[in-house]
Amino acid sequence: MNLQNLKGVGNKTIEALYQANIYNLDDLLTYYPYRYQIEVPTILDNTNSLEIVVINATILEINKVGYIKKNLNILRMKIETNGKIMSLVIYNRAYLRPNLKIGQNIIAIGKFDLKKNLFTANNIRFGKLEEKRIIPIYHSIKNLKNIILEKIISEALKENNDIVDYIPERYIKKYEFLSKKDAINVIHKPIDEDLLKKAKERLIYEELFLFLFKVQYLKKIKVSGESIIKNIDKSLILQFISDLPFKLTNDQLKSIEDGLEDFTTKKRMNRLLLGDVGSGKTIVATVLIYANYIAGYQSAFMAPTEILATQHYNSIKKLLEKYNINVELLIGSMSKKNKNEIMKKVLNGKVDVLIGTHAILNENLLFPNLGFVITDEQHRFGVNQRNILQEKGVKPDVLFMSATPIPRTYALTIYGDMDTSIIKEKPSGRKEVITHVKKESELKDVLYQILEEIKLNHQIYVVAPMIEENEDMPLQTVINLKEKFDGAFHGKVPIEVLHGKLKNKEKDEIMNRFKNGDVKILISTTVIEVGVDVPLATMMIIFNAERFGLATLHQLRGRVGRNDLQSYCYLICNEDVKRLQVLEESNDGFYISEKDFEFRGEGDLFGEKQSGDMTFHIADIRKNYDVLMRALEDVKEWIDIDEYINLTSYVKIIEELKFNN
């Protein structure tokens, strides 16, 4: 059954769904609500209602729509609710006006001001709320209203017959899980909170089980992964290291050692290099690239974005140039002619090191002699991509790098199929970023500090959780802050905004102007790249810090303090949030990640929501730690009995992992 065949789904809806990566029934049914709203009809008494409430009302009079500004209109009506007559206003719902009739029953959600006898609604719906209802709330999809999405999903649920259940029979029995079909029904249309809990539990377990199966399967067959033994003259490596402009830390040296061991033995490298932002992973990779070059092989280095690829290209080229090593960059935005030229050079073996985005492995690019592949920011890629190279029929050594420090137990679970090297030590001479938690009322102090930094020709990052205002979430916005800052500095400081709605080209342009110092303050959502190096950026200011998880805040903070200048971070919030003290006290990513997991990802509204190893539809490895560990035990037990070989669903999974072994 296709999405197109669902009742009420037209081309526009299809387009909206595709935009949200929903391509089939399965995707749709696993587009789970991220929260639920429990609606109980309230009877307004003679008090203000400061909390948002839901009332049943009847329309008595409807005014004309008032237009206040370009993007703001107001709809006003008189309503009756439980014998009381009052005014109701709602903003930006002009489009509802033609459908409203006198005498109509509506459900209104909002707040009541007794003195003004005014109900300010965030939302209204037609009908009457008879009793308590649990309403699923989905992450909003552009051009698709929640209520429409709810309807389409209802239709899809009717078709939900051949949905695959990945939990093996024995564990369904063991834990008395709901059937997959029931669980999916309940998660989208809950009638009872207990049942909802059971449905969630089951879906979380399944998701983790499947994920862990992949990891454990990769581990199981990895043993057979052999590679060529590389011949490397160690004295050359030592010379290279001593010629570096700085002294490597012990952890860096140990990681290089680990890599060389992989290179020079039959075992194929399948290694994760874990280290905090700025801990110096790139230099470790560079030394290994050099070693791979000495052995006579090409290297490929993949970064998740063009900005990062370009940055790596510049720094790696600088270090390798003097050894006559040919380093080239290949990214999508280059001219076709340029790209072709480089591809030809790669094919002819004239490029020793190719740096680019992930696409470099797909662009029909042939490496005659590829011996080493590095993937930066591994956590952005999914487990299916871990073996993408095998497909090309080559068996290079592979190094994954990640700046998401996670506690050891989790690392073993998530990256259980890889060996790990860890960099804990910071390069010497690095000053810790001084961090303060501030109330929004203390903003003036912060503005003075900003000015001080700007006088020193330093630069400032400002992060806000939202782009524009949204009535449901009263949070700071990039747009508002730009106005506020322009006002505070009388427009004399060059400020730019950066957010996900801009085109890639615009983003790159702004980022480049910030990098070269033309822009002094960069106000953005969390889109600023994890690894971006702007040496003169010395201050990071994060608004609504309470809405971010500790790990996310630490990642953001990692964008300053990347050299020997003293850097600062201000976490601005309106409430006292105890966990933020962890960041005042520590700059140690591993310690912070331990704490973050202890707080179970609290506040992590804007965490790793993209794609990659840490993201699931419903599971959260921090919040669902117990389930994770239970599923791991089960997977290990199950994988040993080889039952999966006979299950079509699992055969498919294995195929997706793309193996030729």
363-387 residues labelled b (16+ CB within 10 A) or e (exposed): eebebeebbbbbbbbbbbbebebbb
Least gap, CB of 144 to ligand ADP (angstroms): 38
What DSSP letter does each residue of 484-548 carry, written as one string? Answer: HHHHHTTT-S-EEEE-TTS-HHHHHHHHHHHHTTS-SEEEE-TTS-TT---TTEEEEEEETGGGS
> Residue written as tokens 């203390």?
442
Least gap, CB of 435 to ligand ADP (angstroms): 19
Least gap, CB of 564 to ligand ADP (angstroms): 9
| Cβ neighbours for 197, distance < 8 A, ≥ 6 positions apart | none
Scan residues 207-246 and list those touching ligand ADP (CB under 6 A): 246
- CA torsion 503→508→510→514, rounded to 10°? 160
Q: In the complex with ligand ADP, which residue's Cβ is closer, 174 or 318?
A: 318
Site for ligand ADP contains 562 (CB under 6 A): yes
Scan residues 8-67 and list those touching ligand ADP (CB under 6 A): none
Q: In the complex with ligand ADP, which residue's Cβ is closer, 186 or 532?
A: 532
* CB of 178 closer than 8 Å to CB of 186: yes
Q: In the complex with ligand ADP, which residue's Cβ is closer, 404 or 476?
A: 404
Candidate residues 282, 476, 525, 624; the one interacting with ligand ADP per rule CB under 6 A: 282
The span from the CA of 620 to the CA of 635, in Å, is 18
Q: Which does 248 bind (CB under 5 to 8 A by kind): ligand ADP, Mg ion, none?
A: ligand ADP
- Per-residue x/- track, 384-403, ligand ADP (CB under 6 A): -------------------x
Number of residues that bind ligand ADP (CB under 6 A): 18
| Cβ neighbours for 587, distance < 8 A, ≥ 6 positions apart | 426, 432, 433, 435, 557, 561
Site for ligand ADP contains 149 (CB under 6 A): no
Region near Mg ion per CB under 5 A, out of 128-136, 249-257, 349-357, 527-535: 527-535
Region near ligand ADP per CB under 6 A, out of 277-285, 389-397, 443-451, 651-659: 277-285
Site for ligand ADP contains 289 (CB under 6 A): no
Q: Which does 465 bind (CB under 5 to 8 A by kind): ligand ADP, Mg ion, none?
A: none
Give residue 150's region: left, alpha or beta (phi > 0; psi -120 to 50).
alpha
The residue type of 329 is L
Candidate residues 279, 421, 477, 544; the one interacting with ligand ADP per rule CB under 6 A: 279
Site for Mg ion contains 371 (CB under 5 A): no
Q: How many CA atoms lie within 13 A of 236 on its CB side?
A: 14
Q: In the complex with ligand ADP, which residue's Cβ is closer, 279 or 357?
A: 279
Q: Which does 427 bind (CB under 5 to 8 A by kind): ligand ADP, Mg ion, none?
A: ligand ADP
* CB of 177 closer than 8 Å to CB of 171: yes
Site for ligand ADP contains 275 (CB under 6 A): yes
Site for ligand ADP contains 547 (CB under 6 A): no
- The helix or strand, by DSSP H or E, that contains position 646, with its residue range, turns out to be none
Q: Which does 275 bind (CB under 5 to 8 A by kind): Mg ion, ligand ADP, none?
A: ligand ADP
The span from the CA of 25 to the CA of 14, in Å, is 12
Q: Which does 279 bind (CB under 5 to 8 A by kind): Mg ion, ligand ADP, none?
A: ligand ADP
Site for ligand ADP contains 622 (CB under 6 A): no
Q: Is 631 exposed, middle or buried (0-12, 13-18, 19+ CB in 10 A)?
A: buried
Q: Kindly state the tokens that stand for 299.
A: 């290297």
Candidate residues 304, 531, 589, 603; the one interacting with Mg ion per rule CB under 5 A: 531
Q: Which does 280 bind (CB under 5 to 8 A by kind): Mg ion, ligand ADP, none?
A: ligand ADP
Q: Which does 246 bind (CB under 5 to 8 A by kind): ligand ADP, Mg ion, none?
A: ligand ADP
The span from the CA of 493 to the CA of 166, in Å, is 56
Q: Kindly state the tokens that stand for 521.
A: 């303050």
Least gap, CB of 504 to ligand ADP (angstroms): 22
Q: In the complex with ligand ADP, which residue's Cβ is closer, 97 or 424?
A: 424
Q: How many CA atoms lie within 13 A of 34 on its CB side?
A: 12
Site for Mg ion contains 558 (CB under 5 A): no
Candidate residues 88, 248, 399, 462; the one interacting with ligand ADP per rule CB under 6 A: 248
The residue type of 612 is G
Site for ligand ADP contains 274 (CB under 6 A): no
The span from the CA of 631 to the CA of 204, in Å, is 10
Region near ligand ADP per CB under 6 A, out of 248-256, 325-333, 410-418, 466-474: 248-256
The span from the CA of 436 to the CA of 638, in Å, is 49
Site for ligand ADP contains 541 (CB under 6 A): no
The span from the CA of 618 to the CA of 179, in Å, is 17
What DSSP letter does each residue of 215-278 carry, written as one string? Answer: HHHHHHHHTT-B-PPP---HHHHHHHHHTSSSPPPHHHHHHHHHHHHHHHSSBPPEEEEEE-TT
Q: In the complex with ligand ADP, which residue's Cβ is closer, 205 or 372?
A: 372
- Per-residue x/- track, 93-132, ligand ADP (CB under 6 A): ----------------------------------------
Q: In the complex with Mg ion, which residue's Cβ is closer, 110 or 531?
A: 531
Site for ligand ADP contains 534 (CB under 6 A): no
Region near ligand ADP per CB under 6 A, out of 121-129, 160-168, 279-287, 611-619: 279-287
Site for Mg ion contains 405 (CB under 5 A): no
Least gap, CB of 281 to Mg ion (angstroms): 5
The span from the CA of 219 to the CA of 383, in Å, is 12
* CB of 559 closer than 8 Å to CB of 534: yes
Chain positions contacting ligand ADP, by CB under 6 A: 246-249, 252, 275, 277-283, 403, 427, 531, 533, 562
Chain positions contacting Mg ion, by CB under 5 A: 531
